[in-house]
Structure 1
Amino acid sequence: MNGKAAPNGAGQVSTRNRQVSTRNRLERGRGALGPALELVHTGRAPTRAVLTAELGVTRATAGAVAAELEALGLIHVEPGAAAGAQGRPSHRLVVADDGPVVLAAQVHADGYRAALVGLGGTIAATAPGCETVDADPAQILGSLVQAGVELLERTGRRCVGAGLAVPSAVAEPEGQALNPLHLAWPVGAPVREIFAERVRAAGLPGPAFTGNDVNLAALAEHRHGAGRGAADLLCVATGHRGVGGALVLDGRLHTGSSGLALEVGHLTVNPEGRPCYCGSRGCLDVEADPLAFLTAAGRAPGPEVSLLQRSRDLLTHEYDDPAVRAAAAELIDRLGLGLAGLVNILNPDRIILGGLHRELLAADPERLRAVVADRSLWGRSGGVPILPCTLDHNSLVGAAELAWQPVLDDPPAALSS
């Protein structure tokens, strides 16, 4: 009898140990779901082996995490290709192309755009709207949300949140647009509250977020584009009107104490230049945007296309025209002067340029880099890489990142709400 008791007791202990081990692995796995999803979302864990290493867990735990994310409909786990390597190839991890999406929306001086964006920053569907932006934010935001609803109805995708990019500093925590200079909106319009109300009224699930368009462009580029891997990233861009900037510090978007950091458009680059809306003169905002370029090139803007598109067309198709080339050089010098000042203050490890500035960089990269190097202390000591933004509609993708963040933080909780 005593001889049988020991094996039975050992078997019970072994079973309990296995149960505890499984429970601990599942608990660790649940805690790792968010970090794991972010790694796949940003392309930093293309395989289960890489996920295991990045999370610092066992292969079994990484496998459980991947399986649960797949069960939630967020990723697909696919067999890896042998590719002649020794050993069993690791399974590939990809975002689910049939998974949930978020509604991303952007307002700019010439209209708006709505899109559905999946994990990985992939735009699944888009609907541009080229209408005059109404002086009442509620009107245009209502049109935006309705366009998003129609996209969802057409695609049949599940929506888990909404994000909005606006061409204005957005005060935190209130969500007010403090300087919608190139829109007819009133200063201090409660855009976050209005957008959230329109989202709720349309019956869309999930939270709604609002942010500055260049901040969101920088966030998108840092996670999915030209800024990936940078620790201290400076983004400067001009869209349809004006110039904006954003900064990623130590891998996180820096917006200051109340959301108003990096108003780079109001750096003075031409003391004798044009009056600026801020009350100063010769600011980057009015000296290096599409309207400034067209004016310097002696071209009338014209109502048929946006200022940004007209400027791009000139640089692409008429760069041999001496007036166009001279205008490009003039704006490059002004932009370079502004960037040099920012480099001296911020010491970034990478600069990315968007909108018209991306085309100016492509037109004469050596000139721009030379101006920055000549005018900045750190530029002279080795130079700061200056690269073009690589994502189309990066402000839209950044708006989507805001809406995806709750899912990245806690996938099961966000998807069950």
Structure 2
Amino acid sequence: MSGNADPRATGERTTSRARLDRGRGALGPALGLVHTGRAPTRAVLTAELGVTRATAGAVAAELEALGLIRVDARPGSAAGSQGRPSHRLEVAEDGPVALAAQVHADGFRAALVGLGGRIVATAPGCETVDADPAKVLGSVVEAGAELLRRTGRRCVGAGLAVPSAVAEPAGLALNPLHLAWPVGAPVREIFAERVRAAGIDGPAFAGNDVNLAALAEHRHGAGRGARDLLCVATGHRGVGGALVLDGRLHTGSSGLALEVGHLTVNPEGRPCHCGSRGCLDVETDPLALLVEAGREPGPEVSLVQQAVDLLRTQYDDPAVRRAAEVLIDRLGLGLAGLVNILNPDRIILGGLHRTLLDADPGRLRAVVADRSLWGQSGSVPILPCTLDHNSLVGAAELAWQPVLDDPLEALAGSDQA
């Protein structure tokens, strides 16, 4: 130490470092609390983490130094509140991003997603999906790489959402029925190769689109605060489901849980791709609504957009209303069976199912209550999903997870550990 160094400043730095060392294990949990909006102030962060105010301050300062959050330098208190005002915490608007990609039957989309589930930029892709997954994933990654070049953002990793069960640990798409991809396509490996080839930093992940939508809604949307959350949604084609238990996505022993699209709700119904008949997948998806309403699907926009527009603009048409009632009854029957098995404390609906709920919420809730054991004694809340592009946000959550687990390891490197 030089002779003119201030020993008090050195002591303060040493004390701050010691506090951070004690709170190293709290960095990830602290970031998770800010990320999901559960710690809007440093006082709340202190209480949630169960640490001293000084340690919480050191943790918040380190997360700010990493460029992940912002700490309000001028704490203020709400009108009428008592006690010492607390510093407000929020995610850094100009911080790092994750590259999120989604492929569906009508095309693909790339996005950059920051902490807090905030979409920074998006790039829609083509409207036709090649039968070769390598071509499609190469295109969507290039769209994402262009977004990164344009914005100049640091990237923590990449996540991919696909309309298929994704088997773990290999990351194989086992049933990409609506994409014409080969069964068992190694989508995670292909995606990771394209990400590396594009010079994008960070690890790459892949998952089922509805699983990822449920994860995003649980952290940032209609599922926030639920303990056992059931999500059922129509994609551009077909129906998917997901379950979040005690805050964690439940994917089963190998990533294949909650294939709810293949619950039978109409034994004499349409043949399903799985070999059965009358599954939710073919009885309550956008094509089913259009056919039930006597409408010929057109090529101009996606099937899901055609179905949603039909409900929103022509619901007074008796044929459209009747078709909606048929789908609501079938959906309600499927949900009732899931309630009996899973006993969730909340159900959220996405895609066309969200629009069906909006069209006649009383009918759907009545069917579920009438057909489910637990619906009789206490109805399960059924809510619409609230996030735009929730599968994209969920794909980004996969890429953000290593940072949420250990921000220093993921961002600062071992020399700062």
TM-score, structure 1 length as denominator? Answer: 0.95
1:46 paired residue among 40, 56, 65: 40
Instruction: Tell me, in whole angstroms, the C-alpha distance in 2 between the residues paired with 1:338 and 1:351.
Output: 12
Q: 3-state DSSP class of the match of 2:131? A: coil
1:119 pairs, out of 87, 90, 115, with 115
Q: Percent identity?
A: 85
Encode CA deviations 1:77-110: one digit per residue, 9 max, x unaligned.
0133333333331110000000000100000000
Does 2:155 correspond to 1:139? no
C-alpha distance after superposition, 1:230-275 (max 9, x if no partner): 0000000001100000001111100000000000000000000000
User: What is the DSSP-based 3-state SS (H/G/I as helix, E as strand, rest coil) of the residue aligned with 1:240?
Assistant: coil
Write the letter of the residue equivalent to 1:282. G
Cα-to-partner distance string for 1:312-353 (whole Å, 9 max, x where unaligned): 101111111011100000000000000000000000000000
2: CA distance between counterparts of 1:291 and 1:97? 40
Q: Secondary structure at the match of 2:336?
A: helix
Q: Indicate the SS of the match to 1:332.
A: helix
Tell me, what secondary structure is at the counterpart of 2:356? helix
2:235 is aligned with 1:234: no
Match of 1:295 in 2: 291
Alpha-carbon distance in structure 2 between the residues aligned to 1:146 and 1:25: 43
Partner of 1:184: 180
1:83 to 60, 78, 81: 78
> Aligned partner of 1:245: which letter?
G
Q: State which of 315, 332, 343 in structure 2 corresponds to 1:336.
A: 332
Counterpart of 2:209?
Answer: 213
CA distance in 1, matches of 2:30, 2:246: 20
Structure 2 residue corresponding to 1:151, chosen from 147, 151, 154: 147
Partner of 1:70: 64
Aligned counterparts of 2:76 and 2:319: Cα–Cα separation in 1:
54
SS at match of 2:157: strand
Q: Offset at 1:19?
A: 9.5
Aligned residue among 306, 322, 325 for 1:326: 322
Q: 1:50 to 1:184 in 2, by over 3 A?
A: same
Deviation at 1:285, TM superposition (A): 0.2
CA drift at 1:31:
1.4
More deviation, 324-333/152-161:
152-161
1:288 and 1:169 map into 2 onto residues whose CA distance is 19
In structure 2, the residue matched to 1:260 is 256
Q: Deviations over 1:184-238 (max 9, x none)?
A: 1000000000000000000100000000000000000000000000000000000
- Name the residue aligned to 2:368: 372
Matches within 5 A, 1:83-102: 83-84=78-79, 85-102=81-98
Letter in 2 for 1:56: G
Q: Which amino acid aligns with 1:34?
A: G
Question: Does the CA contact (< 8 Å) of 2:66 and 2:412 recur in 1?
Answer: no
Question: Is 2:16–2:58's contact at 8 Å kept on the other side of the alignment?
Answer: no
Q: Letter of the aligned partner of 1:173 in structure 2?
A: P
What runs of 5+ residues in structure 2 fail to find an aligned partner? 1-10
Aligned-partner Cα distance in 1 for 2:60–2:392: 28
In the aligned structure 2, how far is the partner of 1:283 from the partner of 1:298? 20
| CA pair 308-197 structure 1, distance change in 2 beyond 3 A | same
Does residue 1:27 correspond to 2:27, yes or no?
no
Match of 1:13 in 2: none
Deviation at 1:20, TM superposition (A): 8.7
Match of 2:4 in 1: none
- What is aligned with 2:7? none
Q: TM-score, normalised by structure 2?
A: 0.95
**Residue of structure 2 in register with 1:4 after alignment:** none
Q: Which amino acid is the alignment partner of residue 309 of structure 2? A: D
Q: Give the match's secondary structure for 1:68.
A: helix
Amino acid at match of 2:357: L
- The Cα of 1:22 is off from its aligned counterpart by 5.3
Q: Say which SS state the counterpart of residue 227 (structure 1) adopts.
A: coil
Take 1:119 and 1:153, find their aligned partners in 2: how far apart are those partners?
19
Partner of 1:401: 397
Alignment-mate amino acid for residue 410 of structure 2: A
- Distance in 2 between the 1:197 and 1:36 partners? 32
In the alignment, does 2:164 pair up with 1:168? yes
Q: 1: CA distance between counterparts of 2:12 and 2:51?
A: 17
Which amino acid in 2 is paired with 1:38? Answer: G
Deviation at 1:23, TM superposition (A): 5.4
Secondary structure of the structure 1 residue equivalent to 2:205: strand
CA contact (8 A) 2:41 2:88 kept: yes
Alignment gaps of 5+ in structure 1 = 1-16
Q: CA RMSD in A?
A: 1.8
